[in-house]
Amino acid sequence: MNALRTYAFRFAFYALSVPVVLVGPLTIPFGRRAVQRYAHGWVRMHRWLARAILGVRVRVEGALYDGPALYVAKHETMFETFELVDRIDGPLIVLKQELLRIPVWGAMASNYGAVAIDRDAGGKAMRQLLREGAAVRASGRSVLIFPEGTRVPHGERPALKPGFVGLYKAMGLPVVPIASDSGRLVPRQGTARPGTLTLRFGAPIPPGLPRAEVEARVHAAINALND
């Protein structure tokens, strides 16, 4: 039964997402807020399908920061990606530069608000990130980053990528760590099963801490649901 639910969800989500993405660029002339509202409607469609077909619900613990912040999240499946852009209400998203080259979707992501990183550019990429971090702070928007760099199976605890600390130093904003256990119910590969996954917003971590301290605190907080 779980396998059937999984295939049904994937078919429904991708079948509906194709026209949603193709129509999306029509919102661009109406400004960023229009793009964001449209994207958040897509997110809520995903949430409804997950509840109706997979029997997967989302529980949120903790609270958003009252003001701009750097949100740093565990990354196990696409569920937290969808959920967090809606629940944080339109953050700039740090993502791989090549994603912006995807036809149609890339244009939507750029207009939604993205900080693109070329992960193969080494020190050049870090300098770019520092410049963009300062510009982001001036914009007054929060930022969402997945510091592990890619989706990881539930229970794994890879080290954080260096780009997180560079952005932390450049922005000078509090960090809000977010733990997720989405891979427990909807693994990247395999069969989903019904239940409630959790997104846990941790206590804010102040700006200006030494690299080793902020990395240790963030690493522990985003992995809190792996215990």
Q: 95 is in which domain, residue-wise? A: 2-226
Q: What is the pLDDT of residues 78-105, one digit of tens each?
A: 889 889 988 887 788 887 777 777 787 7
136, pLDDT greater than 90? no
47, pLDDT greater than 70? yes
219, pLDDT greater than 60? yes
Residues 137-164 have a mean pLDDT of 85
Say which CATH number the domain at 162 has: 3.40.1130
123, pLDDT greater than 70? no
Q: What is the pLDDT of residues 158-216, one digit of tens each?
A: 999 877 888 888 888 899 999 999 999 998 888 999 999 999 999 999 999 999 999 99
3-state secondary structure string across the chain: CHHHHHHHHHHHHHHHHHHHHHHHHHHHHHCHHHHHHHHHHHHHHHHHHHHHHHCEEEEEECCCCCCCCEEEECCCCHHHHHHHHHHCCCCEEEEEHHHHHCCCHHHHHHHHCEEEECCCCCHHHHHHHHHHHHHHHHHCCCEEECCCCCCCCCCCCCCCCCHHHHHHHHHCCCEEEEEECHHHCCCCCCCCCCEEEEEEECCCECCCCCHHHHHHHHHHHHCHHHC
Count: domains in the chain: 1
126, pLDDT greater than 80? no
pLDDT band at 69 (very low <50, low <70, confident <90, very high): very high
